[in-house]
Chain A
């Protein structure tokens, strides 16, 4: 009885594995591409708030390089959260300096234009 149950579970998991592979090839990202006005705004906000530490082109300086990076983050939402709250003793949180739309714009600029994600 238990053996039969395990066999059924294995069949279901094999199906789930096949489904996972299919999804890897068929699911498209839903993140909308940044529009030019937002990119311009994000670039301006980046130069005003981020370039001092991360470099004008995101090449790094006091803070780590952003160009070609950000792979530690699983999603753009994670970067927004990180930029909003910051890290004590390392990077300031920007939720008290910028509005949510401004943080979204600068993160979209960093994510798409600098990090190349």
Chain B
């Protein structure tokens, strides 16, 4: 006889606490750290800002695949009709690569620029908040993925927050960069 465990609010609270802690920690670091104000990694781009604008765009593309593959795994879309056995691992890999690519971007944001506290600098202020929220939501989502017993709606909601936050981050940085500084501005 199989048993179905009832949804546990404890797993959800763990995820929320961890996500909130990560978001606050990122914000505190960005606020108290003295911004270095210098370039970091730029690879083959002309400067770090170009690198960040394009890297964030690649992250957004990976996130779009994350969204699509999640919808397929949850049965909300039916393409491909038969889901390959490795589809879930491909979903994990795309998310992992997106997170990996975000690390050098976040490093420059936090270490070289810091948190923008001035509300009148709306784009930078919003971007600072969104950056903190992104890593908090990401931490919560990863926790929920690995926990068994959280409510069924929790994971899609967490994934939706991560995706929505990332789109807003892209709009306040890469889109701003491409429309203000130039395109492709490599």
Contacts and interface: CB of A to CB of B under 8 A. Distances in A.
Interface of A: 2-3, 6, 9-10, 13, 16-17, 20, 23-24, 27-31, 71-72, 74-78, 81, 111, 117
Given A16-B103, A72-B124, A78-B47, A6 B38 contact: no
Interface in B28-64: 29, 33, 35-39, 47-49, 52
B149 to A, nearest CB: 22
B96 A13 contact: yes
Interface residues of B, number: 32
A109 to B, nearest CB: 14
Nearest to A70: B37
Contacts of A27: 36, 111
24 contacts: A6-B92, A9-B93, A9-B96, A10-B92, A13-B96, A16-B100, A16-B103, A20-B104, A20-B107, A23-B107, A24-B33, A24-B110, A28-B36, A29-B38, A31-B38, A74-B39, A74-B47, A74-B48, A74-B49, A74-B52, A74-B108, A74-B113, A78-B49, A117-B35
Contact of B89 (A2, A24, A31, A78): A2
A100 to B, nearest CB: 17
A3 B99 contact: no
Interface in B79-97: 86, 89-90, 92-93, 96-97
Given A3-B89, A27-B36, 10 more contacts: A6-B89, A9-B96, A13-B96, A24-B107, A31-B38, A71-B121, A74-B47, A75-B38, A76-B37, A77-B39
Contacts of B112: 74-75
Contacts of B35: 117
A78 B124 contact: no
A37 B112 CA distance: 26
B106 A71 contact: no
B103 to A, nearest CB: 5
Interface of B: 29, 33, 35-39, 47-49, 52, 86, 89-90, 92-93, 96-97, 99-100, 103-104, 106-108, 110-113, 116, 121, 124
Contacts of A111: 37
A7 to B, nearest CB: 9
Q: Which 5 A-B pairs have the closest CB atoms?
A: A29-B36, A75-B39, A117-B37, A13-B100, A75-B38
A17 B25 CA distance: 14
A110 B47 CA distance: 20
Contact of B96 (A6, A72, A78): A6
Contacts of B29: 24
A13 B99 CA distance: 8
A107 B129 CA distance: 29
Nearest to B48: A74
Nearest to B33: A24
Nearest to B52: A74
